[in-house]
Amino acid sequence: MKSEEYVSFVDAWEGRATIRTRPRRIVENDQKLIYPLSRQPLVLSETFTRECPQLRDFALVQSLYKFINDVVIFETEIVDKTARSIAKNHFAIRFPFACRYDAMTVVVDEDYHALVAMDFMQQTIAMTGIEPIELPGEIELSRAIPAALAMAPEHLLSAVELICVAIAENTVTNDVAAFAKDDSVKQSVKGLMADHLLDEGRHSGFWSRLVRIYWHTATDADRECIARIMPVFIAQYLTHAIQKDFDFRFIEHLAVSEAVKQALKEETSAMAFPINRHHPLIGNIIRFFKASSMLDAPCVQQALADYLPGQGVLQ
């Protein structure tokens, strides 16, 4: 692999990375929402709006805590691990120094994002007096990546890990972008998300480029093997199970009758998106497969046929 295949973004990082350029975000004590209603549809449900609308802010604060918890796990346990391995040249796929340098900036960025998120949680607890309920110890990727790796032969473990992390980084970028544009939430929350987005936009391109570099060196047999793994990873990544468990736990903390709790749980269970081409995150994932050139391969097109526009639908 020749180093000229990759051009570092060091100048962009030095000039625009949030750890270099952004002030501390302070939570405002105003009337705006601390978390978008659209991201916690439970508070918009018929039962919630009828039986306990006064608990809306409690629900949104707890949803923010879970979001922050997810960010910390994602940044420090998932992305940091792979990026650090690449940066220190411990990754089975060897990349030129420019890639490894950029990977270390990703490590710095992601750990900083986790630190900022934890600061924001502390500020919110102090301002609202609302302590977080028990938060999940894992995110969907904590299960999806091991499930994908379990299907991979030894020599493809690093390649599959790289692709899974790249998919996640490209997906979260678009997710954060929607969050940052919501005018109903506090300016500090929007600023926090905008800061995150500034870095994640750079990261998503970084991971796509690394996958493209690898993919162009992969044999046809390895490409076919990886293609077969991708639907399993996607199904695990898009599962609603962890969110549903959290929502059920949250519902148990509400000061409402058992009948109302049961009705809320039933409504929550009905909110899960089917894992098919209509899922709101599938478009982001497919864009990654195009950007990384993986979708140019017939074996990947075939493996992802149920997710592609105009094709069948997974049940």
pLDDT tens, residue by residue, 261-292: 999 999 998 888 888 898 889 999 999 999 99
Phi, psi of 33 (to 5 degrees): -75, 150
Residue 4 has pLDDT above 50, yes or no: no
For 13-45, the DSSP string reads HHHH-HHHH-PPP----SSSBSS-GGG-GGGGS
Measured distance CA(41)–CA(170) in Å, rounded: 24
Q: What is the DSSP letter of 98?
A: H
Q: Is 185 helix (H, G, I), strand (E, B) or coil?
A: strand
The residue assigned the tokens 């006064």 is: 54
Question: How many Å apart are CA 55 and CA 154, to the nearest integer?
Answer: 50
CATH code of 36-307, in short, is 1.10.620.20
User: pLDDT tens digits, residue range 5-34?
Assistant: 788 998 999 998 999 988 899 999 999 999
Residues 6+ apart with CB under 8 A from 137: none
| The pLDDT of residue 311 is above 60 | no
Domain ranges of the chain: 36-307
Residue 315 has pLDDT above 70, yes or no: no
Query: Which two three-digit tokens encode residue 218?
Result: 């992969």
What is the signed CA dihedral for 148, 152, 154, 159, rounded to 10 degrees? -70
Alpha helices in 151-279 (DSSP H): 157-180, 187-215, 220-237, 241-252, 258-269
Among 81, 216, 214, 101, CA closest to 155: 214
**Confidence band (pLDDT; 50, 70, 90) for 2?**
very low
Q: pLDDT tens digit string along 165-202? A: 999 999 887 667 777 778 889 999 988 888 888 888 88
Mean pLDDT of the chain, nearest integer: 92
Q: Is the pLDDT of residue 312 over 70?
A: no
194 vs 158: which has the higher pLDDT: 158
User: Mind giving me the DSSP string for 105-138?
Assistant: HHHHHHHHHHHHHHHHHHHHHHHH-----PPPS-
SS3 content of the chain, % helix, strand, coil (to 5): 70, 0, 30
pLDDT at 174: 67
Task: State how far the Cα of 193 lies from the Cα of 214, in Å rounded to an integer.
Answer: 31
Q: Which residues contact 243 (CB under 8 A, 6 or more apart)?
A: none
pLDDT in tens, 88-101: 999 999 999 999 99
The tens digit of pLDDT for each residue in 99-130 reads: 999 999 999 999 999 999 999 999 999 999 99
User: Which carries the bigger pLDDT value, residue 309 or residue 2?
Assistant: 309
The pTM (predicted TM-score) of the whole model is 0.91
Dump pLDDT digits (tens) for 20-79: 988 899 999 999 999 999 888 899 999 999 999 999 999 999 999 999 999 999 999 999
